[in-house]
Amino acid sequence: MSDVNVLHATLPGAGLEHSSAPSALAVARLMLERDLRLAFRKSSQLVQPLAFFAMVTTLFPLAITPELSRLRHIASGVLWAAALLASLLALEFLFRDDAQDGTLEQYALSGRALTGLLSAKTAAHWLLTGLPLALMAPLAGVALGVPTGALPGILASVTLGTVTMSLLGAVGAALTLGVRRAGALLSLLTLPLAIPVLIFGAHATQLAIRGEPYGASLTLLAALAVFGMTLAPLAAAAAVRINLE
């Protein structure tokens, strides 16, 4: 009984609730920790995009030619098309589970900024899908005959590109939250918006493969990521609220 009294002593009006509200950073860390923990408890979802990426990359030598000297020319396109498709694959689940069990509702009613909470979720999503893809892209590059000198460029460009993909994907996933079997629609919504990422990313990779400086394209990719970070959470939060309504 005494515990209940303790709880009620912190009722607003007693003036304690503001001091007990955690900081935005603490909340973001909590969200991140939660999503990572959840992901590792059902890790099959983590492996699927990576396996898909490897599989798509394998299709091209089989469909075109096994000669590394020729594959090298199309390697940047293959890597980027495969990376975009693989990061799309995982998007459908970005908010779906949380929407189904009512967690998203609780976030929307928590009194915290939904943009911040969704940003944290998107960051977790990138850590779980984007970053592993970026780490795997150089490996796929080697398999496509890319010289080792180009691998840092591939790593850097895919890292930046997947950040933007996760952000765009958060918007797409939030928009299609109320749609059953949203997979194809989600791709149709997200891919046209991802074209600039594809163009700059593939170009940076191409330059890296040719051994030319690719810093300018990386800067453009970074600019896209920053732009996405500022606007995508707003759009995603608006879409989530509409879908909860």
Partner 1 sequence: MAWTWFHRLASPPHVYRTAGRLAPWFAWPAAILIIAGLIGGLWLAPPDYQQGDAYRIMYVHAPSAWLSLMVYTLMAVAGGIGLIWRMKVAHAVAAAAAPIGASFTFATLVTGSLWGKPMWGTYWQWDPRLTSELLLFFLYLGYMGLRAAFEDLQRADRVSAVLAVVGVVNVPIIHYSVVWWNSLHQGPSVMYLGKPTMPPSMLVPLLIMFLGFTLFFAAVLLMRLRGEVLNRERTARWVTEEISA
Partner 2 sequence: MTGISEATLKGESVHLWRGERHVLRGVGFTVSSGECLQLTGPNGAGKTSLLRTVCGMSYPEAGRICWRGQDIRDDLPAFHTEMAYLGHEPPLKMELTGRENLHYWVGVRRRYARAQLDGALERVGGQRWADRPVRTLSAGQKRRVALAGLLLMAVPLWLLDEPTTNLDVEGQRLVGTLIDEHLAAGGLAMAAVHHPLAVSERGLRRLELGVV
List of residues contacting partner 2 (CB under 8 A): 2-8, 10-15, 17, 20-22, 27, 30-31, 33-34, 37-38, 41-42, 97, 101-103, 105-113, 117, 241, 244-245
Binders of partner 1 among residues 134 to 193 (CB under 8 A) are 171, 175-176, 178-179, 182, 185, 188-189, 191-193
Distance CA 184, CA 197 (A): 20
Give the dihedral of Cα atoms 84, 162, 55, 140; nearest 10 deg.
120
Does 24 bind partner 1 (CB under 8 A)? Our answer is no
User: Which residue type does 55 have?
Assistant: M
Please, what is the minimum distance in Å from the beta carbon of residue 23 to partner 2? 10
* Binds 11: which of partner 2, partner 1, none (CB < 5-8 Å by kind): partner 2
Does 218 bind partner 1 (CB under 8 A)? Our answer is no
Distance CA 166, CA 173 (A): 10
Among 216, 199, 195, CA closest to 153: 216
CB-based contact 189:176 (threshold 8 Å): yes
DSSP string, 188-216: HHHHHHTHHHHHHHHHHHHHHHHT---HH
Does 95 bind partner 1 (CB under 8 A)? Our answer is no
Question: What is the token pair recorded at 181?
Answer: 């079997």
Binders of partner 1 among residues 220 to 239 (CB under 8 A) are 224, 227, 231, 235, 238-239
CA-to-CA separations, 91 to 97, 109, 172, in angstroms, rounded: 12, 24, 8
Does 54 bind partner 1 (CB under 8 A)? Our answer is no
Pick from 195, 212, 215, 226 the residue near partner 1 by CB under 8 A: 195
Q: Which residues bind partner 1 (CB under 8 A)?
A: 171, 175-176, 178-179, 182, 185, 188-189, 191-193, 195-196, 199-200, 203, 224, 227, 231, 235, 238-239, 242-243, 245
